[in-house]
Structure 1
Amino acid sequence: MARIDILHPHTRSADEARTIVEGIAAQLRERYGLSGTWQGDAVVLSGPGLQGLVEVLPQQVRVSAELGFLLSALRGQVEGEIRRVLGERLD
């Protein structure tokens, strides 16, 4: 299994960052059939081949995920897409 761990800086307020992360989580739920629930300042994501967490921290968003066997082969693409989306939405 492959692991992804990304820290992305932001200058948004906590509420703005949370709203952006909620939008990203909604897109992931719709596109990949993931379930996502808020626990404190983090969205816990789970679905076929992925268990992860998106945390809204002061001045950072942290994405950590464990990829299952099939997604492990696509780790570079998955990580690149996450970084791209974070850059578009938080920068």
Structure 2
Amino acid sequence: MPSIDIRRPHQLSHDQAHALIDRVAARMREKFEVKTEWQNETLAFERPGISGKIAVGPDEIHVTAQLGMLFSPLKGMIEQEIRRKLDEHFA
């Protein structure tokens, strides 16, 4: 099963980074029907074919995801979109 592992440094306060990930999660729920749940400082997300976590650290955001067979061919495109969004919000 293909996986994604991306880290992006940030200089936001903990509350700012957490709030930003909350907004990203709202868009994921709206646009992709993803279920999300905070587990301490990590946002777990899931929908058929993909599951993962977004960890909010003091100086970095860490995104991990496991892709099912349906999304395997789209791994490059999915990674590119995650990187673009992280650059947009945390650059």
Name 2:41's counterpart in structure 1.
Answer: 41
| % identical equivalent positions | 38
* Alpha-carbon separation, structure 1, partners of 2:50 and 2:29: 12
Name 1:59's counterpart in structure 2.
Answer: 59
Secondary structure (helix, strand or coil) at the match of 2:71 reads helix
Name 1:28's counterpart in structure 2.
Answer: 28
Whether the aligned pair in 2 keeps the contact of 1:20 and 1:90 (CA below 8 Å) is no
* Alpha-carbon separation, structure 1, partners of 2:75 and 2:46: 16
* Alpha-carbon separation, structure 2, partners of 1:28 and 1:2: 20
* Alpha-carbon separation, structure 2, partners of 1:10 and 1:34: 25
Name 2:81's counterpart in structure 1.
Answer: 81
Secondary structure (helix, strand or coil) at the match of 1:76 reads helix
* Alpha-carbon separation, structure 1, partners of 2:24 and 2:82: 9
Greater than 2 Å deviation, 4+ residue runs: none
* Alpha-carbon separation, structure 1, partners of 2:62 and 2:77: 18
Name 1:6's counterpart in structure 2.
Answer: 6
Question: 1:7: how far off?
Answer: 0.5
**Structure 1 unaligned runs (5+)?**
none
- For 1:80, the aligned partner's letter is Q
Aligned length: 91
**Structure 2 unaligned runs (5+)?**
none
TM-score by length of 1: 0.97
TM-score by length of 2: 0.97
Secondary structure (helix, strand or coil) at the match of 2:64 reads strand
Root-mean-square deviation (CA, aligned residues, Å) is 0.6
* Alpha-carbon separation, structure 2, partners of 1:88 and 1:40: 25
